[in-house]
Structure formats: C-alpha cells, structure tokens
Chain A
Amino acid sequence: MIRSEILKEIAPILNPHLVVCNIGLPSQELHMIDDNERNFYMLGTMGLSSSIGFGLALAQDKPVISIDGDGSVLTNLGTLPTIANNATGNYTLLIIDNGSYGSTGDQPTYAGQKTSLAAVATACGCENVIEVQDKDLGPVLQSAIDSDEMTIIVCKCDSGNIKLPVITLDPVVIRHRFMEAVKA
C-alpha cells in the first residue's frame, strides 16, 4: 500500500480526533480524503508535525494524533527524547515510513536503508513503540488512541504518490477552525 491508500483506510479512525498532519502530500491527501476542522494541515515547516502535536497533547486532554513521515522524523529526531521523557497518554505519533521523501520526488531516506526509526524511538526512551505493516495499521492505531499510554507507531509501506492539488485554505483559517474544534 502507498500512503494515500493507508490514509483512506484509516480516515474513519482519525475522523473524531485532533490530527496534526505533515507538510506536503500527506496533508494534501488527508484534505482530499476527509477535510474537517479537526485536521491541522501543515503548509510548511518540515519536521515539526510531531512537536506541534505533542505540544497540543500536553496542553489539553483530547486525543491527538500526529501524522509524520520517515523523512520528516529524520529532520527532527531530537524531539523523540523530548516526547519520551514527557510522555502523555493522549498522544499518538504515527510515522508513515515509506523509505522515501515522497513530496520531493521519492528520493530514498536512510529509514528505508539501515536506520530503524522504531529502534531509534525505543533508544530515545519511548516505551510503546510498534512497527506495523501497512495492511495491519487500522486496529493498531485504534487501540493506540483508545489506550491511556502514549504510542509511537512506525507503519512500513510502499513508496509512491498520487497527483493532487495544493491546499489553498488560508493558514489562519486552518488554525482558527482547528482551535475551535479543540475547544468544542
């Protein structure tokens, strides 16, 4: 499965919850599949989906899912110790690991070679790290959200993209409607 197929499959699981979605194609795909006010689309700032979602989870009680990619996590590896050492049960980090920088032309990442992001997260002190194959993600994600324990999911999948337009929503609109959803 490629990332857009995975997002289609898990969209009903994500829908009731606050989702912070990674820059580029992941946000464009989620926007196309199930645009709603509980999605925070990153229009820039590669690497910070994990940190933004974690700050949000620390600041309020609702479940938060950060959707990140292997390339983006590699950009901001330093946040994994921060997340591990301040763990909060309402946070789930979903790393869709297709071993490539999808939004920039599928250049290979080190996560598709020798580097295991699950092993990195574990070494950083994250206690519930699950590596899962794409077709098995749904139930794993649902139980991570339902659980009181913070979970890091590394979902291994195929590299590949679909063609779709950029998000033209104004960033302040995305932020405002998301904050209203947080308060609701």
Chain B
Amino acid sequence: MNIDKKIADDLVANDVSFVTTVPCKQLAGVIEEIDQRDDIFHIPSNKEDEGMGLCAGAFMGGKRPAIIMQNTAIGVTINTLATLTQFYRMPLPMIISYRGELREPVACQVEMAVHTKALLAQLNIPTYHFHWQKDVEEFDNILKYTFMCNKPVAILTDANFWGGYGDQ
C-alpha cells in the first residue's frame, strides 16, 4: 500500500482542501503527494502555530483544513490549540510525525516523544497512533470524526509506520 497516496486520497474524499505543512524527513513523501494534488491548496508554514492560524482562517472561510507537522510542534502550539482551535471550537486534523519512537536514530527526539502523548492527553485532544501501515485504514474515519466534533485531533505516525527512519 502507498500510504502517502492513501492519506492524500482520504483528505480529498473528506473535502479537506487547505493543508499547511512544516516538514519532517518522515513526512517528505506525503507532503510531496499533497503538493501535487489539484484538489488541495498546499501552503507551507514557517512555524506550526502560524499554520494553525492559517487553518482557523481557512475554516471560517468555508474550507476544511489540516496541518502536517512533527511532534515537537506540540511543544510550540499548546497555547494556540487551547486559546484558538479549542476555545472557538474549530476542527483540525493534525497529521503528526511521531519522532523519538521505535526505530528513531536521533536521541534528542526521544526527549519530546516521552511528553507527546501526555501533553495531548492533558489537552483532551483525541489521539490516534499509527504504528503499522495497515493502521492508515482508520484515517478516513478519523477525518470524519474530526469534522463531526469540531475538535483538534492528533494522528501520531511513527517511524515504523513510515517504513523506518535511517535504518533501511
């Protein structure tokens, strides 16, 4: 299965037409796939809280948004998630590269990985963890759930899901 294509297909099928990204090596394939889709306006952000602001505006303008970023961004965006996305009740699927998990070669990434799920839990953000490629089959349902409940929702995607990071 091509998981990059499946993620982009599911975004399009759920009318997600405004996607902002902050890159991660693991996310390079899906970002490239999204960039090539005519049905999706792709706007790279310089920082993830900026991206969440763009998504909030796009949502109020009638588009369904999504953000693609690394889990280190949770450390950057807690205020924005609480005081913008959650306070105003806006939907935001967050496709997150879960660095610092199994098959991670960079030790520093583990330092944010050990806080990631705890921070998301503290924020009461529904959180899903994709570890096996077949987990992507749930992505379509997660998108529907996000736009049903008007909440930010996290999809953590680890190195094993993406086929390894630097070890193959």
Interface set of A (CB-CB < 8 Å, partner B) = 20, 40, 42-45, 47-48, 50-60, 76, 78-79, 81-82, 86, 171-172, 174-175, 178-179, 182-183
Contacts and interface: CB of A to CB of B under 8 A. Distances in A.
The secondary structure that dominates the A interface is helix
A59 B84 contact: no
Contact of B87 (A43, A50, A79, A81): A43
B49 A54 contact: no
Between A40, A42, A45, A53, the greatest number of chain B beta carbons within 10 A of the residue's beta carbon is seen for A45
18 contacts: A45-B49, A45-B53, A48-B53, A51-B51, A54-B54, A55-B57, A55-B58, A55-B59, A56-B58, A57-B57, A58-B57, A59-B59, A59-B60, A76-B50, A79-B53, A171-B88, A174-B88, A183-B62
B79 A58 contact: no
B41 interface: yes
Contacts of B90: 175
Contact of B84 (A45, A81, A178): A45
A71 to B, nearest CB: 16
B44 interface: yes
Interface of B: 18, 41, 43-47, 49-63, 65, 79-80, 82-84, 87-90
Contacts of A171: 87-89
A48 B84 contact: yes
B53 A59 contact: no
Nearest to B65: A55
Given A58-B43, A171-B89, 6 more contacts: A48-B49, A57-B57, A58-B61, A76-B50, A78-B45, A172-B88
A55 B87 contact: no
Contacts of B44: 82
Contacts of A60: 61-62
Nearest to A20: B57
A47 B49 contact: yes
Nearest to B43: A86
A52 B45 CA distance: 13
B76 to A, nearest CB: 11
A57 B41 CA distance: 13
Contact of B62 (A52, A78, A182): A182
B61 A182 contact: yes
Given A58-B18, A171-B88, A175-B90, A51 B60 contact: no
Given A48-B49, A55-B18, A182 B87 contact: no
Contacts of B79: 44-45
A73 to B, nearest CB: 12
Contacts of A182: 60-62
A76 B45 CA distance: 11
B61 A56 contact: yes
Contacts of A52: 53-54, 56-57, 60, 84
Nearest to B83: A44
Contacts of B65: 55
B89 A172 contact: yes
Contacts of A183: 62
B46 A56 contact: no
